[in-house]
């Protein structure tokens, strides 16, 4: 980076820092200058801004209002692509016989982790199991620049809401769930805008060929360990993926969960062992960006398929 560019970025970061610490009106922030610099600097500049604002030591100790922080983050996240992350979800924890119409803590936690570790997803095909309302995937599509992103769930109302949220955020939705690598125009696609698909995927009936067709580089899941039945079904899917992709490089797999019932979490790791899937705890990220329950204990396991 040229000295002049470095100086300009330092001044830009300072302007963001001063305005955020003073909780100035969002319209007073130098958004236009940020957009100009993002064309050259990319997501690294956004991470620097996060360090100077919501993750600033003063804000950690004396945080601004939740409303102010959320509005700032919404404005910041939309800068790489020109659209904010907007989410339609249910106000009820259980609605239409499913819990997938709301955003749960582990989805927020995994989105934060991804924003701090974008290199794990950049220019890669991501398959999300049990996408729910879609917050994690939408944040990744905006901030981590995946090559392709596959949202998946089994409930018809969840899938309907997912498609709506994808379109609500200005992302292009593929007309079918054909694996991204099978599209002839795959190599010429604009990498700044990932291919996005919404797939109906029932863990109890999905077949190995159906899973193999996605050709994922990364597999993620958030807050899907809520009962023994889903744990067993998830491990079955992961084991099937491990088998059907044995001739390819094993995808990186991350499962985020909130520890509500230790016995359920223990069942998950036990079943992983039975399936021959090893795991390790992913390093915790530095600071939370989204408002959620302070007392909730959330972890991310990296699985080795």
Assigned token pair, 169: 């955020």
pLDDT band for 83, please (50, 70, 90 cuts).
very low
In a shared domain, residues 141 and 49: no
Tell me the pLDDT band of 92, cut-offs 50, 70 and 90.
Answer: very low
| Domain membership of residue 165 as a residue range | 105-177+191-304
Is the pLDDT at 167 greater than 90, yes or no? no
What band does 256 get if pLDDT is binned at 50, 70 and 90?
very high
Do the domain assignments include residue 99? no
Kindly calculate the radius of gyration of the chain based on its CA atoms and give it in whole angstroms.
Answer: 20
CATH label of the domain that carries residue 287? 3.40.50.150
Task: Indicate if 232 and 268 belong to the same structural domain.
Answer: yes
How many Cα atoms within 13 Å fall on the side-chain side of residue 131?
36
Task: Note the pLDDT tens digit of each residue in 18-59.
Answer: 999 999 999 999 998 888 887 666 557 877 888 899 889 998
Task: Verify that 67 and 160 share a domain, yes or no.
Answer: no
Considering the domain architecture, whether residues 258 and 122 belong to the same structural domain is answered as yes
pLDDT averaged over every residue in the chain: 82
Statement to judge: residues 171 and 114 lie in one domain: yes
Phi, psi of 54 (to 5 degrees): -65, -25
- Structural domain tally of the chain? 2
Domain identity same for 262 and 117: yes
Q: Which of the listed residues 65, 81, 97 is the one where a domain comes to its end?
A: 81
The pLDDT, as a whole number, for residue 99 is 41
CA distance 13 to 11: 5
Min mean pLDDT across 125-139, 180-194, 272-286 is at 180-194
Please compute the mean of the pLDDT values over residues 195-211 and round it to a whole number.
93
> Are residue 161 and residue 240 in the same domain, yes or no?
yes
pLDDT tens column, 6-17:
888 999 999 999
pTM of the full structure: 0.68
In terms of Cβ atoms closer than 10 Å to its own Cβ (0-12, 13-18, 19+), residue 16 is: buried
Is residue 89 included in any domain, yes or no? no
Question: Residue 39 has which token pair?
Answer: 């064309």
- The answer to whether residues 24 and 116 belong to one domain is no
In this structure, are residues 233 and 264 in contact, taking their beta carbons and an 8 Å threshold? no
Same domain for 71 and 109, yes or no, is no
Q: Is 170 in the same domain as 244?
A: yes
- Residue 182: band (very low, low, confident or very high) from pLDDT cuts 50, 70, 90: very low
Lowest mean pLDDT, pick from 157-161, 216-220, 246-250, 280-284: 246-250
Helical spans, DSSP H, in the chain: 3-21, 31-41, 43-52, 57-61, 66-77, 105-116, 135-143, 156-168, 208-212, 228-244, 262-274
Q: Tell me: pLDDT of 155 over 80.
A: yes
Same domain as 226, residue 126 = yes
Residue 174, pLDDT score = 84
Considering the domain architecture, whether residues 111 and 223 belong to the same structural domain is answered as: yes
């Amino acid at each position: 980076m040229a000295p002049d560019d470095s100086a300009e970025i330092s001044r830009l970061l300072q302007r963001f820092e001063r305005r955020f610490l003073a909780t100035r009106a969002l319209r007073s922030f130098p958004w236009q200058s940020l957009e100009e610099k993002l064309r050259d600097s990319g997501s690294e500049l956004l991470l620097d801004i996060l360090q100077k604002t919501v993750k600033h030591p003063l804000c950690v100790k004396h945080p601004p209002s939740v409303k102010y922080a959320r509005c700032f983050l919404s404005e910041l996240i939309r800068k790489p692509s020109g659209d904010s992350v907007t989410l339609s979800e249910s106000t009820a924890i259980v609605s239409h016989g499913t819990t997938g119409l709301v955003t749960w803590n582990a989805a927020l936690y995994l989105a934060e982790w991804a924003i701090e570790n974008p290199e794990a997803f950049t220019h890669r095909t991501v398959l999300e199991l049990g996408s729910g309302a879609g917050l994690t995937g939408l944040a990744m599509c905006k901030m981590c620049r995946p090559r392709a992103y596959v949202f998946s769930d089994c409930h018809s109302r969840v899938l309907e809401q997912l498609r709506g949220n994808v379109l609500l955020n200005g992302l292009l939705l593929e007309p079918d769930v054909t694996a991204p690598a099978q599209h002839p125009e795959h190599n010429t696609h604009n990498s700044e805008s990932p291919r996005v698909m919404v797939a109906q995927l029932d863990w109890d009936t999905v077949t190995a060929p159906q899973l193999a067709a996605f050709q994922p580089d990364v597999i993620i899941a958030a807050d899907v360990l809520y009962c023994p039945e889903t744990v067993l079904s998830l491990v079955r899917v992961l084991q099937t993926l491990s088998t059907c992709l044995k001739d390819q490089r094993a995808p990186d797999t991350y499962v985020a969960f909130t520890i509500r019932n230790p016995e359920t979490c223990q069942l998950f790791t036990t079943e992983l062992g039975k399936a021959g899937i090893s795991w390790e705890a992913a390093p915790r990220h530095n600071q939370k960006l989204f408002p959620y329950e302070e007392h909730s204990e959330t972890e991310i396991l990296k699985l080795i398929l």
